[in-house]
């Protein structure tokens, strides 16, 4: 079983976004489904954020075509999608899936964008192995964090610009790329370039590597915190200097299904991240065979010290504060083992760490969410259909 969001037992792999798109969903008459479709047809949407102009920005991983990653601007009222930035790195990874833009986060007039590992890695010669791409990566800015600066006029005009391979090389070299017309230009910087992979030798294949998988991000002061579902850690990035290091790592846990199904341990796989009440909250999406042991972990943003907050989840993929001191938790599927069956679920916790209630249980492979600041509407990206759906004022 492939993993777009993390690693399977015995192999660091991404969850197959294409495979989930063809699964059949059973929606029964008791499903809570208070959702409205905002837009459909996006290319593997993995991240979503809101601008101060109340538009939505979606990070799209792309298609099988190289360089097909893009950032879309969506008007939540009309559902009209326009391209803000195209030509972003995207490549076929070690499990033959597109890997490109993922998490996005808006702060002021700056959009922070994560780029996945792309084609920097390939499947190794033995089952459960991964190796560096012998041909080299098609982009020098895979596994990176970009800062995209654009004005309110650029947003209003929906200025569409394209990042070329030469632009990507300039970014990797520490340069600044400016695109578009003067009145609505878009300026891009490389904030951090994470390692595409680290050595992970095994007896049968000494060249085995563990690939990176930057997935989501949160901002606290001058630091950006990035979940890496391949390395199973949270990076802390200094926005002033671009330096970064591991803040917290998440250890595997015993596999309750072993030896019947899977290996002796299950990977932690950090996915969503947010900042609330002086702590980072990280969703841990457990790897194959997907036991119902997913969790929301709290992490000290200074020391990296960890503590449990919410446990016993099935497939936690994102977490977001509501406007009243509670939390929303997004589950990618309601039944994870032994296959990715069941619908996605949005839960609400009036008291973080308390008992959750179901807001919606009809989501089609959700990947991320954002809570609108003014209205409280929850916008959710879904892999199936490439949709953004809205749950209006769920509280």
* Largest pairwise CA distance in the chain: 62
Q: What distance in Å separates the CA atoms of residue 387 and residue 171, rounded to the nearest whole number?
A: 31
CA 10 to chain CA centroid, nearest Å:
22
Q: What distance in Å separates the CA atoms of residue 5 and residue 60, rounded to the nearest whole number?
A: 15
Residue 152's SS3 state is helix
For residue 284, give every residue at least 6 positions away whose Cβ sits within 8 Å of its Cβ, in sequence order, or none: 250, 268, 269, 270, 271, 294, 295, 296, 297, 316
- Per-residue pLDDT at 339: 52
Q: Which two tokens stand for residue 235?
A: 């990076």
For residue 136, give every residue at least 6 positions away whose Cβ sits within 8 Å of its Cβ, in sequence order, or none: none
ω before 338 within 30° of 0 (cis)?
A: yes
Q: Which two tokens stand for residue 238?
A: 């200094």
Are β-strands 357-363 and 344-349 bridged in parallel, bridged antiparallel, or unpaired?
A: antiparallel
DSSP run (H or E) holding 330: strand 327-331
Domains of the chain (ranges; CATH) run 17-391 (2.120.10.30)
Q: What distance in Å separates the CA atoms of residue 300 and residue 13, rounded to the nearest whole number?
A: 28
- Per-residue pLDDT at 32: 84
Are β-strands 91-92 and 98-99 bridged in parallel, bridged antiparallel, or unpaired?
A: antiparallel
- Give the pLDDT of the chain (395 residues) as one tens digit per residue: 334 444 333 333 333 332 333 333 333 335 689 999 999 999 999 999 999 999 999 999 999 899 999 999 999 999 999 999 999 999 999 989 999 999 999 999 999 999 999 999 999 999 889 999 999 999 999 999 999 999 999 998 887 999 999 999 999 999 999 999 887 899 999 999 999 999 999 999 999 999 999 999 999 999 999 999 999 999 999 998 999 999 999 999 999 989 998 889 999 999 999 999 999 999 999 888 888 889 999 999 999 999 999 999 989 999 999 988 899 999 998 765 555 556 899 999 998 888 899 999 999 999 999 999 999 999 999 999 999 999 987 65
C-alpha pair distances (Å), 293 with each of 256, 262, 356, 387: 10, 15, 15, 28
Place of tokens 């190289």: 66
Q: Are 323 and 332 in contact (CB under 8 A)?
A: no
Q: Are 372 and 54 in contact (CB under 8 A)?
A: yes
Q: Which two tokens stand for residue 19?
A: 């495979």
């Amino acid at each position: 079983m492939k993993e777009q969001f993390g690693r399977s037992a015995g192999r660091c792999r991404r969850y197959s976004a294409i495979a989930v798109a063809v699964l059949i969903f059973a929606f029964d008459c008791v499903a809570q489904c208070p959702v409205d479709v905002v837009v459909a047809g996006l290319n593997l949407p993995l991240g979503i954020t809101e601008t101060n102009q109340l538009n939505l920005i979606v990070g799209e991983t792309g298609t099988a075509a190289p360089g097909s990653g893009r950032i879309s601007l969506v008007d939540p009222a009309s559902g009209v999608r326009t391209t803000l930035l195209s030509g972003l790195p995207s490549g076929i990874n070690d499990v033959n899936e597109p890997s490109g833009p993922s998490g996005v986060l808006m702060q002021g007039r700056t959009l922070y964008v994560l780029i996945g590992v792309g084609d920097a890695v390939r499947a190794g010669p033995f089952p459960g192995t991964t190796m560096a791409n012998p041909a080299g990566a098609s982009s020098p800015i895979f596994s990176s964090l970009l800062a995209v600066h654009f004005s309110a006029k650029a947003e209003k005009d929906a200025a569409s610009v394209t990042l070329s391979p030469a632009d990507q090389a300039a970014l990797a070299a520490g340069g600044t790329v400016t695109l578009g017309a003067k009145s609505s230009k878009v300026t891009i910087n490389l904030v951090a370039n994470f390692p595409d992979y680290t050595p992970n030798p095994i007896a049968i294949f000494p060249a085995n590597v563990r690939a990176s998988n930057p997935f989501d991000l949160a901002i606290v002061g001058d630091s950006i915190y990035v979940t890496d579902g391949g390395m199973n850690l949270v990076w802390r990035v200094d926005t002033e200097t671009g330096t970064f290091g591991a803040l917290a790592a998440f250890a595997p846990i015993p596999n309750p299904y072993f030896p019947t199904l899977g290996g002796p341990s299950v990977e932690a796989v950090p996915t969503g991240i947010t900042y609330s009440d002086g702590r980072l909250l990280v969703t841990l999406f457990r790897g194959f065979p997907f036991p119902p042991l997913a969790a929301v972990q709290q992490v000290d943003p200074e020391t990296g010290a960890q503590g449990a907050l919410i446990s016993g989840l099935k497939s936690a993929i994102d977490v977001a504060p509501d406007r009243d001191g509670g939390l929303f938790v997004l589950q990618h599927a309601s039944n994870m083992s032994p296959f990715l069956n069941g619908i996605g679920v949005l839960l609400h916790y009036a008291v973080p760490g308390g008992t959750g209630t179901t807001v919606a249980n009809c989501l089609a492979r959700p990947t991320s969410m954002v809570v609108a600041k003014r209205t409280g509407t929850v916008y959710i990206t879904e892999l199936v259909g490439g949709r953004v759906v809205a749950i209006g004022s769920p509280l």
